[in-house]
Structure 1
Amino acid sequence: MESPDSSIPHVTQPPVATAAPAGAGTVRTTVTAPHGTGDGTDFTLVLAAPTIGSVVPNQGSVDGGNTVTLTGTGFTGATSVRFGTVAAAFIAVSATQVTAIAPAAPAGTVNVTITTPGGTSAGVPYTYVAGPVLSGVAPAQGPLAGGNSVTLSGTGFTGATSVHFGVNAASPFTVVSPTQLTASVPTGGPGPVAVTVTTPGGTSTQPVSYYYLGAPVLNAISAAFGQVAGGNSVTLTGTNLLQATAVRFGATAATTYTIVSATEIRAVVPPGAAGTVPVTVTTPGGTSNSVAYSYLGVPVLTGLAPDQGPSAGGTTVTLTGTGLTYTTAVLFAAVPAGFTVVSDTQLTTTAPPGAAGAVTVRVVTPGGTSIGLPYTRLDPPGI
């Protein structure tokens, strides 16, 4: 074989830079040139371990099942995601994002890690939270319009995200402590609804009820007037009267009342001043419309005419004064006489028969009995 012609110049090709392929482990690298392929050398490809920058959300229910998003670097080829020592189902979205389904675990904090061919990341904390337990609502009833404040008691309220009365969310609400929160009741319909509290640990499932009550309605009062000293009993009728918390005559509360049924209350009238006042009933559902009640002063007689007549009776006598509207009796001494109320300041009566002489005439109303005026019975002429 002839040796190469030394007159032909030898050309040396410059090296060509190439990028290492994806993967991990040891591979043999070779170079191919026009004269052939070299034997090659071993080359070890090392991938960087993955890093987790954030876990969102970073807490959830002990029951698991919620979706958690991991962001970071080096997630390509991920082989596992673990919450503590427990493997989670996951989907690799990209080299910087993975979504995982949190597995169930006891309450407490664990480290979330991701493993790739490059290694296992450092852990990022994830907290398992026990679900809230609701044990009571106080007060447990209120008006349809809502807006009243209630206190919820229980456990696991830290981080509460919502409070619901049936399907309606309470707003605002305040977490006072892990065992107590306060909430403004939303508008609702009449009847009971379930109250629930939701936290990152889940939603309470205990059957705690709140009752929406319609406002009371008053239709009538059995006696619409009485003396200023009070003490007389009246009956109020209407609807939604159960659980009444107050019966008021004007601004004065009746100290004694009895709830007979949802449609009836009996109350003892408190003292008051002469005049008409509104009577109302208050329940957790609100305050009723009013019915009128009149406090009556003791009637006053200022005159009667004529002030005398035959002992045989039959004389029409006009009485004047004040507070005569609700007159229930006109007495000549102790003898009742027929009468007609003309106005609050006047009535007419017919003198009953009786022995000759002076008698006292008085007027009786629910406000009391007037001071009397004298009326003289005369014997017939010739006696």
Structure 2
Amino acid sequence: TVQGSGFVSSENLLCQWGSAGSVKGEFVSSSVVLCRGAGLMRGNYTVEVSMNGADFTSDGQRHEVAGAVEVEGIVPSTGRVSGGRPVRVFGTGIVATMHMACVFDGATSVHAYYVSKHEVMCRAPGGAGGVVGVQLRVGSETSVSRVDYEYVEGGEAAVSGLVPSSGSVLGGTVVDVIGENLNHYVRGCRFGDLVEVSAEVVSSSVLRCTSPSGRVGYSSVDVVEKDGELVGGGVNRFLYREEAVVYAVRPSFVVGGGGAVVSVEGDWFVEGEGLSCKFGDGVTVVGVFHDRKRIACEVPVVEGGGTVRVSVSNNGVDFVGGNVEVEVAARGAVFGVSPSRGGVRGGDVVTLTGLNFAMSGAGDAVCLFDGMRRVEASVVSSTELRCEAPGWHTPMAVRVDAVIGDVVSSEGAVYEFVEEAVVFGVKPSRGPRGGGTSVSVFGEHFSSVESYCSFGDARGLVAKHVSSSLVVCSLPATHVLGGVEVEVSNNGASFTRSQVEFEYEESLEVVSFSPSAGTDLGGTELNVYGVNFPRGGEMKCVFGSSASNSVTAARWVSSSHAGCRSPSREAGNVTLGVIAEGETAVSLGGVYRFEPSMQVFSMSPNRGSVEGGTVVTFGGSGLDRVASCRFGSTRVPARQLSKSQVSCTSPRYSAGEAGVYLCDETSVVCVWSIEKFVFERVVVLGATPSSGLARGGSLVTMIGGGFTSDCSPSCVFGSVGG
């Protein structure tokens, strides 16, 4: 564009480009002419104008020909699909003009700002994900060449922090750069102005890189994108410190960990959130800062004990000093306590069983009740600790631990404080020195879990718990006579101090008795002779078993003589003995015979139908007392015929034999009927008439049982059927 005055429209209007020649000009107005410089080589030209094709102006302006517009590069070469990112476009043929634009993907144009003849700046428009070409338009000319620009999803990358934010001047600290939209187009991290290190994309919000060596002080940390652009603006700073060193750990021996504190000595320790100690390969604890040369750390629990390395970190990530060690003795553990309960008054000796109770250099041992009450303990072995239970204010269950030195056991046991048991009395209050007697002990606060009795020096006798106020104990045997104290224990170790007495006496013994027999009706007066029959206590005569119908009261006559009456029971031989009050053992004196008062001589018939209904007649003596007959297990009433005869009707019964007994009205005295009764499905008891003509033809009536109308009966005479 040539600006001036006096320009006229003419067919001979020419523009002269220095010595390069003339080209036809285009009239615009009297002050503007357009001159085209296509095909000119790069360089500076003086432009003159002629109206007649011969005479040219002499005051022309110099014009630089830059050549065709070409695009050579773009920075940054990536941006978000949302657009708006400033980019620098580099190329040739760029001249300062109002009409410049960056063209994205051949369609979207955005205004470009002239920076120099080799650079313009524009702002990327929004676009779809992927790579597009970028061209440059200067005036009316658009570059043929293009450069790639990549659209990526998400927002613009941003950095908000560093973890850790400090590290050793020696470098090597793994730093997590925290931010957003930190994805695959990130290239690395830059520490300070020059040092760039590679980065690992952990997620869109975490970028991981390793610090290079540096000098003491702060260094900016930025994220470097693939095109070299920096994200972060230098506001995130990483502090380089002198590397910490560890010289020693004191004490170098602790018990169990989980409470023991050691002092770590060294240099260049720094107070802060990252100050920490690591024990072994994994357990990290917070360090307590004292000064640059000393920190304190609590030793964690080391299962099984052993020697572990101790290292220190100022930032919680980089640990140093791994050659310094501390020996950790295995922590004590309580698995059980015996006895597991005791009275609230205390004083019971309890034994804790477990592990790691005896350790050299560990210090004093104590039993810890409920986490607050300490009592001195004696170490029996590495697995056994003994102490005395303290008094307690109320009945309750508490945890008991072993404390070795200052370290509490990792596990504890439960000890229960219970109300103190008290004994008020016993019954019987005397018994044989041979023992065996059941003694009821009365009192209060007897345990339902476990109860024990003691008779003098005989302790640990398991008692039967009836209620909180009654237990029953079996009297132990002794070789001495006289009184002993009876006490009760709720744990088998400590006993009451009630001082209730029980008197041991000589055991009674039966020597003989008379008479040696009597009827099964009972009531026979007997004299029993022996030794040590107690006058003050109850005695009983026992005939056979101790069932109620075999026991009668005995009458004391003297220490060697007693009397009693026989009970009513079945005939037969039984043992006869005497038992005193409270005793469980019967002193036997011999055999007593119950003679039958009823006798059966005959039974007719001795068989019948399973359907019952057969009238059976019994003959004998003393049968006027018979009230019932018993066929097997089935009882039926009896019918008195005379003092020597009685009859009963057989019941329905299964086929086979059944024993038959005649019993009196008490059903206690029964007599055997001398033979069994046979129940048959069909039974013939007789025939009428009982004789007939040899030629046959006589009508015979069969008498018996089991006959039915739904069958076809037949009679058999010898071997001849009919």
TM-score in terms of structure 1 length: 0.50
Counterpart in the other structure of 1:70? 264
Residue 259 in structure 1 maps to residue 465 in structure 2: yes
Contact 1:168–1:186 (CA<8 Å) still a contact in 2? no
Q: Give the corresponding residue for 1:151.
A: 352
For residues 21-40 of structure 1, the aligned pairs below 5 Å read none
Q: Which of 221, 244, 250 is the equivalent residue of 1:55?
A: 250
Q: Is the 8 A contact 1:193 1:210 kept in 2?
A: yes
Superposition deviation, residue 227 in structure 1: 5.0
Alignment equivalent of 1:111, drawn from 295, 309, 312: 309
**For 2:386, which of 170, 183, 202 is the aligned residue?**
183
Q: Give 1:292 shift.
A: 2.4
1:290 corresponds in structure 2 to 499
Letter in 2 for 1:124: V
- CA 1:204–1:325: 2 relative to 1, 3 Å: same
CA pair 54-260 structure 1, distance change in 2 beyond 3 A:
same
Per-residue deviation at 1:168?
1.9
Please state if 1:165 is matched with 2:369: yes
CA distance in 2, matches of 1:104, 1:207: 16
Flag the structure with more relative contact order, 1 or 2, with Cα contacts below 8 A and sequence separation at least 6: 1
Contact 1:115 1:121 in 2 (8 A): no
Corresponding residue SS for 1:187: coil
- Pair 1:210-2:415 in alignment: yes
AA aligned opposite 2:486: V
Q: Secondary structure at the match of 1:123?
A: strand
Equivalent in the alignment of 2:424: 219
Question: Which residue is equivalent to 2:400?
Answer: 195
Partner of 1:126: 326
What's the secondary structure of 1:241's corresponding residue? Answer: coil
**Equivalent residue in structure 1 for 2:536, among 303, 309, 326:** 326
Distance, in Å, in 2 between the alignment partners of 1:228 and 1:175 is: 39
Which consecutive residues of structure 2, in runs of 5 or more, have no partner in the other structure? 1-213, 216-241, 315-319, 509-532, 539-554, 565-579, 583-722
Task: Tell me the CA shift for residue 197 of structure 1.
Answer: 3.9
Deviation at 1:69, TM superposition (A): 2.1
1:219 corresponds to which letter in structure 2? Answer: F
Contact 2:243/2:268, CA 8 A, preserved across alignment: no
Secondary structure of 2:376 counterpart: coil
Deviations 1:344-364 (A, max 9, x none): xxxxxxxxxxxxxxxxxxxxx
Match among 267, 276, 284 for residue 483 of structure 2: 276
Q: 2:290 aligns with which of 75, 79, 93?
A: 93
Q: CA RMSD in A?
A: 5.2
CA distance in 1, matches of 2:581, 2:301: 76
After TM superposition, give the deviation of residue 184 of structure 1 in Å: 0.9
Superposed displacement of residue 263, structure 1 = 1.7
Give the Cα–Cα distance (whole angstroms) in 1 for the partners of residues 302 and 537 of structure 2. 83
Q: CA deviation at 1:218?
A: 0.9
Does the 8 Å CA contact 1:129/1:200 hold for their aligned counterparts? no
Residues 330 and 356 in structure 2, CA contact (< 8 A), matched pair in contact too? no
Supply the distance in 1 between the matched residues of 2:506 and 2:281 (Cα, whole angstroms).
87
Match of 2:446 among 241, 252, 257: 241
For residues 293 and 105 of structure 1, what CA distance do their matches in structure 2 show? 57
Counterpart of 1:195, as a letter, is: V
Unaligned runs of 5+ in 1: 1-24, 27-46, 300-322, 337-364, 368-383
Question: Alpha-carbon deviation of 1:235?
Answer: 1.5
Taking the aligned partners of 1:256 and 1:102, their CA distance within structure 2 comes to 48
How many residues are treated as equivalent by the alignment?
267
Residue 54 and residue 146 in structure 1: after superposition, are their counterparts in 2 closer, same or farther (change >3 A)? same
Q: Which residue of 2 aligns with 1:31?
A: none
Closer/same/farther in 2, CA of residues 255 and 142 from structure 1, 3 Å limit: closer
Whole-Å separation in 1 of the counterparts to 2:338 and 2:537 = 50
Alpha-carbon spacing, 1:201–1:257, altered in 2? closer, same or farther (3 Å): closer
Q: Deviations over 1:50-81 (max 9, x none)?
A: 56244347557777x87542235x54768966
In structure 1, C-alpha distance between the alignment counterparts of 2:249 and 2:410, rounded to whole Å: 31
Contact 1:129 1:201 in 2 (8 A): no
Whether 2:345 is the aligned partner of 1:139: answer no
- Counterpart of 2:379 in structure 1 is 174
Change (3 A) 1:121 1:210: closer
Amino acid at match of 2:536: Y
2:465 is aligned with what amino acid? I
TM-score for the superposition, normalised by structure 2: 0.30
The structure with more radius of gyration:
2
Shift of 1:148: 0.9
